[in-house]
Amino acid sequence: MLEEVERWLARRSWSVADRPRQQLAAAKRATGATVSVVLPALDEEETVGEIVAVIRRELMGGAGEPAEGGAQRPAPSGRPAPSVRTGPEGGPAAGAPSAPAPSRATATGSMASGSVPGAGAEEEADERVRLVDELVVIDSGSTDRTAEVAAAAGARVVHRDAILPRIPALPGKGEVLWRSLLVTSGDIVCFVDADLRQFSADFVAGIVGPLLTEPDVHLVKAMYDRPLGGQPGQGGRVTELMARPLLNLHWPRLAGFVQPLGGEYAARRSLLEQLPFPVGYGVELGLLVDALHTVGLDALAQVDVGVRRHRHQDGRALGRMAAAIYRTAQLRLARGRLGPPALVRPVLTQFERTEEGFEPRSYEVDTEERPPMTKIAEYARRRVA
């Protein structure tokens, strides 16, 4: 792992528990920033309603329901506490150095020093938590009841074809994220997948938080454990098999992202409006690489929001997703969007959830090649003999 990435992990990886919602609400008032949440949705009638309801209830002042009390909420059990540890490269957890991993206090040091005036914890007891100003579901061409369910739960629903009709919509998730910028107005735009199960409002509060409290942060991705078939850490197959190797080898500065493909991320509109959006599943990798080149690594961050459960696609569908991601990378490489000079010995950094957080473990990538056997003297001699 690059030293720059180790430093970034210590500075720019947090846990949702680091920024209580009341503190975020105060920061939001102090800065006057507005927040839009966008849910791209293609046939998500089973899950979209619950996600909309949770966001409205917990982050939009309850929409008629009792407001959250002024006391800071205790962290529910299972809430992530630590963020990312910068540990030894390639070593097991037991081999961790005695030097302390970046603690939560370290990670939030800039907040503690009051980077946003008025963002202290002493807020009025009856302050409602209004972190989200608008919630929009962009219907990506659903044939099920996604639009009705989302509207009934309280979202504004906009069909992709109703946005910018001058340019006919192309299929794909990136297309609707791009179009969403035209029908939302928040200074901060927060994307959340509509297929999440057991959704927690921490997903939104976690990634919007640093954008409200850290003026130098421009894009924040969620990180989480991703179970698959009941097994922790086994989800995110395209992430592990395609995106992470691509990023490590071509953009090693982005190797510290635990979930580079995750669909939950928030960014300043001022950044998003400058970036091209791949229309399909390449959009996350494309935005990450282009954001790196536009605002630099220190303007990017990640926040641990717990566990992500979602609808899993089958292997063939993931193969098509992987191809789109590879193509997105290829286009950026062709445009000269390269990271620092290739590492002499390329490494792959993976992450493992431990009690302390996500622990990076780096492995050398096989890179040596043997010459054709005809170049080997012993082989030539053997043929003569």
Ligand X SMILES: O=c1ccn([C@@H]2O[C@H](COP(=O)(O)OP(=O)(O)O[C@H]3O[C@H](CO)[C@@H](O)[C@H](O)[C@H]3O)[C@@H](O)[C@H]2O)c(=O)[nH]1
Ligand Y SMILES: O=C(O)[C@H](O)COP(=O)(O)O
Scanning residues 302 to 361, which ones bind ligand Y (CB under 6 A)? 312-313, 318
360 binds ligand X (CB under 6 A): no
Whether the Cβ atoms of residue 294 and residue 271 lie closer than 8 Å to each other: yes
Q: Which helix (H) or strand (E) holds 362?
A: strand 357-364
Residue closer to ligand Y (CB basis): 212 or 287: 287
- Alpha carbons within 13 A on the beta-carbon side of 253: 19
Tell me the CA distances in angstroms from 193 to 26, 237, 287, 319, 349, one per residue in order: 27, 17, 16, 20, 26
219 binds ligand X (CB under 6 A): no
Scanning residues 129 to 188, which ones bind ligand Y (CB under 6 A)? none
Task: Select from 49, 172, 235, 339 the one that contacts ligand X (CB under 6 A).
Answer: 172
Scanning residues 259 to 288, which ones bind ligand Y (CB under 6 A)? 261
Task: Select from 112, 162, 228, 365 the one that contacts ligand Y (CB under 6 A).
Answer: 228
**Residue 144 to residue 344: CA distance in whole angstroms:** 51
Query: For ligand X, what does the binding mask look like between residues 174 and 203, x meaning CB under 6 A?
Result: --x----------------xxx--------
Structure-block tokens of residue 363 = 């492995």
Binding-residue total with ligand X (CB under 6 A):
20
Tell me the CA distances in angstroms from 134 to 59, 60, 116, 137, 340, one per residue in order: 10, 8, 23, 10, 39
Closest separation between CB of residue 261 and ligand X, Å?
4
Binding-residue total with ligand Y (CB under 6 A):
11
Structure-block tokens of residue 373 = 């056997």
Task: Select from 83, 86, 108, 140 the one that contacts ligand X (CB under 6 A).
Answer: 140
Residue closer to ligand Y (CB basis): 261 or 295: 261
Helix (H, G, I), strand (E, B) or coil at 327: helix
Closest separation between CB of residue 262 and ligand X, Å?
6
Q: Which residue shows structure tokens 């290829």?
A: 330
Structure-block tokens of residue 315 = 């292997």
DSSP letters for 110-126: HHHTTSSTT--S---TT
Task: Select from 68, 214, 284, 356 the one that contacts ligand X (CB under 6 A).
Answer: 284
- Mapping DSSP onto H, E and C, the string for 38-73 reads EEEECCCCCCHHHHHHHHHHHHECCCCCCCCCCCCC
Task: Select from 17, 35, 107, 261 the one that contacts ligand X (CB under 6 A).
Answer: 261
Q: Quick one: which of 320, 29, 38, 329 has its CA closest to 175? A: 38
Regarding beta strands 265-268 and 196-197, do their DSSP bridges make them parallel or antiparallel, or are they unpaired?
unpaired
92 binds ligand X (CB under 6 A): no
Which of ligand Y, ligand X, none interacts with 284 (beta carbon under 5 to 8 A by kind)?
Answer: ligand X
Closest separation between CB of residue 172 and ligand X, Å?
5
Which of ligand X, ligand Y, none interacts with 194 (beta carbon under 5 to 8 A by kind)?
Answer: ligand X
Which of ligand Y, ligand X, none interacts with 235 (beta carbon under 5 to 8 A by kind)?
Answer: ligand Y
42 binds ligand X (CB under 6 A): yes
Scanning residues 207 to 226, which ones bind ligand Y (CB under 6 A)? 226
Which of ligand X, ligand Y, none interacts with 226 (beta carbon under 5 to 8 A by kind)?
Answer: ligand Y
Task: Select from 82, 236, 280, 360 the one that contacts ligand Y (CB under 6 A).
Answer: 236
Q: Please give the order of strands across the beta sheet that includes 134-139.
A: 13-15, 300-307, 219-225, 265-268, 188-191, 35-41, 134-139, 156-159
Task: Select from 56, 173, 253, 353 the one that contacts ligand X (CB under 6 A).
Answer: 173
**Residue 87 to residue 362: CA distance in whole angstroms:** 10
Report the interface residues with ligand Y, using CB under 6 A. 226, 228, 235-239, 261, 312-313, 318
Report the interface residues with ligand X, using CB under 6 A. 40-42, 44, 140, 171-173, 176, 193-195, 261, 263, 281, 284, 310-311, 313, 321
